[in-house]
Structure 1
Amino acid sequence: MPPRTPDEEQIRTMTLEAFADTIVPGEKRSPDDRAVAGAATGGGAVAAGAIELLEWDATGVAAGLDDFARLLNEHARAYAAEHELVLDEQVPSFVALPFEHRTLLVQRLTTPGHPEKEFWVSLALFSNMAFDSAAHMSTADAIAAGHPGLVAMGIAKPDADGLWRFPEYSYGRQLANLHPDTTPSGSPA
């Protein structure tokens, strides 16, 4: 496959960002941001690194992202025609859909019985994963960078040495005694 042109790259990225933003909405990155609809305050899937996660080879979807973006824009054009919506041709079709219509289209694509459901659900899961766990980066780095999902969930920062220690028990009480052979780093002997 030949490399994408800068225009093709922009269309692909904006389309995938708009999809991820539909799954976990966030606030616009700038007033002229078209991919992120601004349907929520704070950072959503895009700010959390959804594109970086999707493009990571470990996901198994990276090679198909061009097709995902193309198909999503084809579905958006068909959806717009069905609902008599006029789309701005300056941006990809899915990006041009108002947020509520993006949501309805994604709902349609992920509904049981849709022939492409597996693909769209996997894209949605990775969008959630980027926000919920920052799976594409180390947890300590994500927290240090102010990752929006980990911040929203209140994930504690590690100690200065990069290890997490919890002086208070999560259940409010000690559940078991520390094994006598546990090393100072917390590892079993």
Structure 2
Amino acid sequence: MTGPDRRSLLKALVATLAGLSVGGVSTPAAASADASESWTTQTLEAFADTLIPGRRRFAGDVAVAGAVTGPGAVQAGVVDLLRSPELPVAPLLPEIAALLDARAVTYAALRLIWLPPTHPPFVGLSFSDRTALVGGLFDPDDLDRPIWQVMSLLVGLAFDTAGQQDTVEALGQGHPGLTWLRFPEPDPDGLWRFPDFSYGRPLAALHPNTTASGSPA
């Protein structure tokens, strides 16, 4: 691959995950305003839509294949998460998208699939071909497998946890992923409490030195 080497990409991706683990990140207000204009963005959207597909956003939407009727990772704001200026992966997105597009060109050439020149190569593939290509990215002997593994985690975070937003704020705005998953609302003070044990009973007695926040002493 050209541009930053695999080690640099992986370091940036892992640092991104670390940044998300400490809370939501802010995203620029115009982050998605020009989403349909960028080939990089279209490729990233198509990748995310292959992992967590959703309905098309508008007539002629080429990045989102429309394989299902519900919301997917794109509707859940995956591109906003990836493009946040607070995350180190943002500057490397063109290289990651270019790597995926290069794989799409090879995939299409081996199968005599015509790719329209008006769209990025990966976007030009049908949903079934996108799925087959992405599945191969996770083969154990694929050199770039760690990159796609971390990228897939980021896609999941956008849909499953609204990692690009404060959770309370995301729920209040009707975040597509959290709403689809029926993520529980917090208590009136904005905190989540779970009075019912998942097994119907506590698994161990509370240590007497446990702090009020639930942390071990």
Q: TM-score range by the shorter chain?
A: 0.7 to 0.9
Distance in 2 of aligned mates of 1:151 and 1:101: 29
- Kindly provide the amino acid, as one letter, of the partner of residue 97 in structure 1: L
Q: Which of 84, 92, 98 is the equivalent residue of 2:120? A: 92
Q: Tell whether 2:202 aligns with 1:169.
A: no
Contact kept? 1:26, 1:40, Cα under 8 Å? yes
Task: Give the CA deviation at 1:62.
Answer: 2.1
Q: Which of 39, 42, 45 is the equivalent residue of 2:67? A: 39
Distance in 2 of aligned mates of 1:158 and 1:125: 25
Distance in 2 of aligned mates of 1:169 and 1:143: 22
TM-score between both structures, scaled by the size of structure 1? 0.82
For 1:1-189, what aligned pairs fall within 5 Å after superposition?
A: 10-56=38-84, 59-166=87-194, 169-171=196-198, 173=200, 175=202, 187=213
Secondary structure of 1:66 counterpart: helix
Distance in 1 of aligned mates of 2:201 and 2:85: 41
Contact kept? 1:26, 1:44, Cα under 8 Å? yes
Task: Give the CA deviation at 1:45.
Answer: 0.7
Secondary structure of 2:122 counterpart: helix
Cα distance 1:8–1:28, how it changes in 2: closer, same or farther (>3 A)? closer
Task: Give the CA deviation at 1:149.
Answer: 1.9
Flag the structure with more relative contact order, 1 or 2, with Cα contacts below 8 A and sequence separation at least 6.
2
Cα distance 1:178–1:59, how it changes in 2: closer, same or farther (>3 A)? same
Contact kept? 1:39, 1:99, Cα under 8 Å? yes
TM-score between both structures, scaled by the size of structure 2? 0.72
Of the structure 1 ranges 143-152 and 171-180, higher mean CA displacement relative to structure 2 is found in: 171-180
Q: Tell me how many residue pairs correspond in the alignment.
A: 181
- Where does structure 1 lack aligned partners over 5 or more consecutive residues? 1-5
Task: Give the fraction of aligned pairs with identical amino acids, expressed as a percent.
Answer: 43
Distance in 2 of aligned mates of 1:8 and 1:177: 54
Contact kept? 1:181, 1:188, Cα under 8 Å? no
Distance in 2 of aligned mates of 1:45 and 1:63: 21
- Kindly provide the amino acid, as one letter, of the partner of residue 128 in structure 1: G
Cα distance 1:61–1:7, how it changes in 2: closer, same or farther (>3 A)? closer
Of the structure 1 ranges 73-82 and 54-63, higher mean CA displacement relative to structure 2 is found in: 54-63
CA RMSD between the two structures: 2.8
- Where does structure 2 lack aligned partners over 5 or more consecutive residues? 1-33
Task: Give the CA deviation at 1:57.
Answer: 5.2
